[in-house]
Amino acid sequence: MAATSKAELQSITQKEYSKLKALISAVSVKDALRKDDEDTSIKDVIGHRAHWIDLFLGWYADGLAGKQVHFPAEGYKWNELRRYNAELRQKQARLSWGEAVTALDQAEEKLNALIQSCSDTELYGDPMKGAHNNWTVGRWAEAAGPSHFRSAAKYVRSRLKSI
């Protein structure tokens, strides 16, 4: 069930991030870089999650500034996520395991700072500016943060079992 208040969002963000951090802290560099059948690694998934938090933060900032918000990114439509994510993996190919983890830590810190800076009303009172849908800032933050942390942890557990 989605969070509906700042306190719930802070709690679920901390909970899911802590679970993911505990899980990836035990992942070796070798295992983090090992590709699966779809040419994706644990490192790729962690880098992806960091990137999507930054995307959300950009959407939020652009909406507040009255700029056009590009969903999911300029030049892409939601039905082109497979291509976008493949291109992201190529861009992040030289990213090390340590750099991916650091990027995730930094993105999570920025997400928490945003959540902390907003009131309940700012997070859940109205749809996010520029989003052109009914999702609130809090709902977008949850999708970019805790939901992605949860899915990343599921992927990491599955990969570690298969390795």
Q: Assess contact for 140 and 131: CB atoms under 8 A.
A: yes
Strand, helix or coil at 74?
A: coil
Q: Over the stretch 64-93, which tens digit does the pLDDT of each residue have?
A: 999 999 988 999 999 999 999 999 999 999
pLDDT band at 115 (very low <50, low <70, confident <90, very high): very high
pLDDT score for 98: 97
Nearest one of 39, 31, 149, 159 to 90, comparing CA atoms: 39
Across the strands, what pairs with 45?
A: none
Fold for 37-162, please state it.
Answer: Four Helix Bundle (Hemerythrin (Met), subunit A) (1.20.120)
Q: What is the DSSP letter of 127?
A: B
Token pair listed for 153: 């942890």
Note the pTM of the prediction, 2 decimals. 0.93
Q: Over the stretch 88-113, which tens digit does the pLDDT of each residue have?
A: 999 999 999 999 999 999 999 999 99
